[in-house]
Amino acid sequence: SQTIHQWPATLVQPVGSPLSLECTVEGTSNPNLYWYRQAAGRGLQLLFYSVGIGQISSEVPQNLSASRPQDRQFILSSKKLLLSDSGFYLCACPGGGSDNSPLHFGNGTRLTVT
Amino acid sequence: GQNIDQPTEMTATEGAIVQINCTYQTSGFNGLFWYQQHAGEAPTFLSYNVLDGLEEKGRFSSFLSRSKGYSYLLLKELQMKDSASYLCAAMDSNYQLIWGAGTKLIIKP
């Protein structure tokens, strides 16, 4: 089974500063990868997903971007953070090879924008 | 549009049984997932239903009625460690997950 690594675990950043969150996956090749955000007390919001290197689909227009420079690496970035970017950021990939495999999540990054 | 509804919060007593309901509307359907999320942690997978009926996994069971767009998660012999949020998610025809906001379950001794 795969292992999803996310870092950092927590982050406090001022408004207007840049952001880079990294996710790497072990134990599988060419996985679909997802970035989700969860605001306090809210459900999961899909931000980006990727089916392969350099292939990114954006679900919500915003000041965030994503990149997949390597098969098992998925990066979430921003040039200038907003207060509304605060939340719990989760990287995920399917636990199996079929389209309806359940998602497994990394431990997440809790971002506070001040 | 696509939508998931589940109660915001429920309270139950240790040792009792609780049922968390979820209704969904999706464009096509490829299954219904339940996840458990403890405070400050990532969600973990609990169950998957794609056919009508009840799936049992130890103290947890999940039910699906596709014709009614309805599912429930049943937790038996509640323990304090079951205090968590329970997320319902339906998969549409494009294999995209539509997530509910989660039900916060509070267990009292």
The two tokens of residue B41 are 């942690």
Nearest to B42 among A95, A100, A108 (CB): A108
B51 inside 8 A of chain A by CB: no
CA angle A57-A11-A62, nearest 5°?
Answer: 30
Tokens representing B104 are 């916060």
Indicate the residue of A41, A90, A100 with minimum beta-carbon distance to B42: A90
Name the β-bridge partners of A19. Answer: A78
CA distance A94 to A100: 8
Rounded CA-CA distance A52/A74 in Å is: 10
Cβ–Cβ < 8 Å for B42, A105: yes
Distance from CA of A20 to the nearest CA of B (A): 19
φ, ψ dihedrals at A74, nearest 5°: -135, 125
Which parts of chain A register pLDDT below 50? none
Residues 6 or more apart in contact with residue A30 via CB below 8 angstroms:
A52, A71
State whether residue A108 sits within 8 Å of chain B by CB. yes
Choose among B39, B36, B27: nearest CA to B95.
B27
Q: Which two tokens stand for residue A61?
A: 């227009």
Residues of A in contact with B91 (CB under 8 A): 100
Q: Report the residue of A105, A107, A109 to disrupt the B interface, i.e. the one with the largest count of B CBs within 10 Å.
A: A105
Separation of alpha carbons A6 and A14, rounded Å = 21
> What is the C-alpha to C-alpha distance for residues B18 and A86, in angstroms, rounded to an integer?
33
B60 touches chain A (CB under 8 A): no
pLDDT in tens, B3-57: 999 999 999 999 999 999 999 999 999 999 999 999 999 999 999 999 999 999 9
The Cα B93–Cα B28 span in angstroms is 4
* Per-residue pLDDT, B52: 97
Taking only the tens place, the pLDDT of each residue in B52-93 is 999 999 999 999 999 999 999 999 999 999 999 999 999 999
CB contact under 8 A, A100 and B43: no
The backbone torsions φ and ψ at residue A83, rounded to the nearest 5 degrees and listed phi first, read -55, -35
Per-residue pLDDT at A61: 65
Q: Which string of DSSP letters, residue by residue, matches B29-61?
A: ---EEEEEE-TTS--EEEEEE-SSEEEEETTEE
β-pairing, B103-108 vs B84-91, is antiparallel
| The pLDDT value given to residue A64 | 95
DSSP A59: S
Inter-chain residue contact B41 with A107, CB threshold 8 Å: yes
Contact A44 B87 (CB under 8 A): yes
